[in-house]
């Protein structure tokens, strides 16, 4: 495990809470951890699930390495903006909300043009910029969310195509699923 990280504390807490003993092999960098693991200097390597999946995807034999199903901590990873750049922070946050809302309402990159013409749900209309102008609040035009969704899809489409189970990274949605499907993901209302 990489020293000085929250992973180190999370692992210690998990093993203590479950009355399990272990012998840590401390490393300074992720690349050193990967090298130690592949060299057989340790039995397992720990970091966040997306990091493990990314590492495993790059192995010569990824099918011979298992990411254990236990999630021992919840540490959200997401967009980051420079402190004090409130406008850019608002754009990033509301774009994420737009992608999440699109998934919840069934708006996809394939059906967005049709829904922009025919949607009767007022929240979908506002999301797609066909009524109201919510973009003005963050310095954008009314169709900013429509363009973001059309470019790469809703949150679920993006997850599936970049790190999802059918990609080399192979992550299941887990807590990244919509709140309606047992996950933690939901958007603020588009009002």
Whole-model pTM? 0.81
Residues 3-49: tens digit of each pLDDT: 988 888 999 999 999 999 999 999 999 889 899 999 999 999 988 88
Taking residues 149-157, report their average pLDDT: 98
pLDDT tier, 177 (very low <50, low <70, confident <90, very high otherwise): very high
Give pLDDT, residue 69: 84
pLDDT tier, 103 (very low <50, low <70, confident <90, very high otherwise): very high
Give pLDDT, residue 19: 96
Whole-angstrom distance, CA of residue 150 vs CA of residue 37? 41
Residues 42-70: tens digit of each pLDDT: 999 988 888 899 899 999 999 999 998 88
Give pLDDT, residue 176: 92
> What are the structure tokens assigned to 110, written together?
């394939």
For the chain, what is the mean pLDDT? Answer: 93
Whole-angstrom distance, CA of residue 55 vs CA of residue 62? 9
- pLDDT > 70: what percent of the chain? 100
Whole-angstrom distance, CA of residue 71 vs CA of residue 89? 29
Whole-angstrom distance, CA of residue 42 vs CA of residue 142? 54
pLDDT tier, 111 (very low <50, low <70, confident <90, very high otherwise): very high
């Amino acid at each position: 495990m990489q020293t000085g990280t929250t992973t180190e504390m999370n692992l210690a807490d998990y093993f203590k809470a479950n009355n399990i003993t272990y012998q840590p092999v401390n490393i300074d960098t992720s690349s050193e951890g990967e090298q130690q693991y592949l060299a057989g200097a340790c039995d397992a390597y720990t970091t966040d699930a997306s990091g493990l999946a990314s590492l495993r995807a790059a192995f010569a034999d990824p099918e011979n390495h298992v990411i254990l199903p236990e999630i021992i901590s919840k540490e959200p990873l997401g967009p980051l903006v420079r402190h004090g750049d409130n406008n850019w922070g608002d754009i990033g946050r509301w774009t994420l909300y737009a992608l999440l809302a699109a998934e919840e309402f069934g708006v996809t990159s394939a059906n967005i043009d049709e829904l922009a013409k025919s949607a009767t749900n007022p929240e979908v209309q506002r999301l797609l910029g066909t009524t109201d102008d919510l973009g003005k609040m963050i310095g954008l035009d009314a169709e900013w969310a429509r363009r973001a969704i059309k470019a790469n899809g809703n949150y679920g489409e993006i997850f599936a195509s970049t790190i999802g189970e059918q990609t080399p990274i192979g992550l299941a949605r887990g807590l990244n699923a919509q709140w309606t499907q047992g996950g933690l993901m939901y958007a603020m209302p588009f009002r």
